[in-house]
Amino acid sequence: MRLVLLLKAILLLGVFPAAAKDSQLTPLRTADDSRGWEAVGQLDIGGRGFCTGALIAPDLVLTAAHCLFDQVTGERLDHRNIQFLAGWRNGRAQSYREVRRAVIHPSYTYDVGVGGGRIQNDLAILELIRPIRDTRIQPFQTDVRPRKGSKVGVVSYAHDRSEAPSIQEVCYVLARRSGTLVLSCEVDFGSSGAPIFVIDDEQPKIVSVVSAMAEIDGRSVSIGTDLHGPLKALLAELSAGEGYWPEDVQNIRRLSNGANNNNRRNIGANFQKP
């Protein structure tokens, strides 16, 4: 209910762009289709659920914070059970990496009562156990918040298209307010954390990630988190050495050398957010 009220308040500030027409989702099933998008990948949550993420550095994946919480209990998931599958397509990935540490925005609060928490600041960065050094996989740059009416695009996985990502090259920013973007982009379960792009000089730049989906007056919309302030806070957390799992805090030296943890617990996720 709070999500619906939030969206109504946002949309009262302006109407949908009258001439806007979204493109359809297009599957990226082949190597040629996927060229340039290999840095988008699937986040395998212990083999029990998945989200979408994207590289913003060779060892850093940007995604939604709520992907790191159990939807039923609200407990933080062990990020060591998460694997980033860069360019996942037809049962194979361009590169596989486990997660060394994970930071969520310090002001983010997961709230089981609204099915996934606060949309504002719904961001997380995962540091991979080793950087991905593959010339085919180029991390994306980030950019400032787009204006209302701007054309954007999204590359995402979802429950009914989990074996290959899909791209929607044209969707629109319908409204922006209080650190969130209301978008016409098509998303579904599994799309959480999917990168929202603007195309600048033919180079896609991430301006938001998918946090939630909703319906307004019969029209499906997606909700993204503004990167402008939250991303700086996440990078500061990483620089401060935050993000290790509690039992590993005393073993940072070993983790920094890339050793595997042989006692990883199998913690799954059952997400209700997209």
Say if CB 156 and CB 165 are below 8 A apart. Answer: yes
Task: Determine what percent of the chain is predicted with pLDDT higher than 70.
Answer: 80
Chain segment 163-207, per-residue pLDDT in tens:
999 999 999 999 988 789 999 998 998 899 999 999 776 789 999
DSSP state of 192: T
Query: Coil, strand or helix: which one is 221?
Result: strand
Q: Where are the domains of the chain?
A: 2-256
Say if CB 69 and CB 77 are below 8 A apart. Answer: yes
Strand partners, 166: 27, 156
Query: Coil, strand or helix: which one is 133?
Result: coil
pLDDT of residue 120: 84
Q: Is the pLDDT of residue 49 over 80?
A: yes
CA 92 – CA 86 distance, rounded (Å): 9
Chain segment 112-171, per-residue pLDDT in tens:
554 444 788 999 999 999 999 999 999 999 998 899 999 999 999 999 999 999 999 999
Q: Is the pLDDT of residue 257 over 70?
A: no
pLDDT of residue 117: 45
Q: Which CATH class is domain 2-256?
A: mainly beta
CA torsion sign for 233, 236, 238, 242 is negative
Chain segment 98-107, per-residue pLDDT in tens:
999 999 999 9
Q: Is the pLDDT of residue 71 over 60?
A: yes
Query: Coil, strand or helix: which one is 223?
Result: strand
CA angle 30, 133, 59 (to 5 degrees): 100
Q: How many Å separate Cα 20 from the centre of its chain? A: 25
Q: Count other Cβ atoms within 10 Å, centred on residue 263.
A: 7
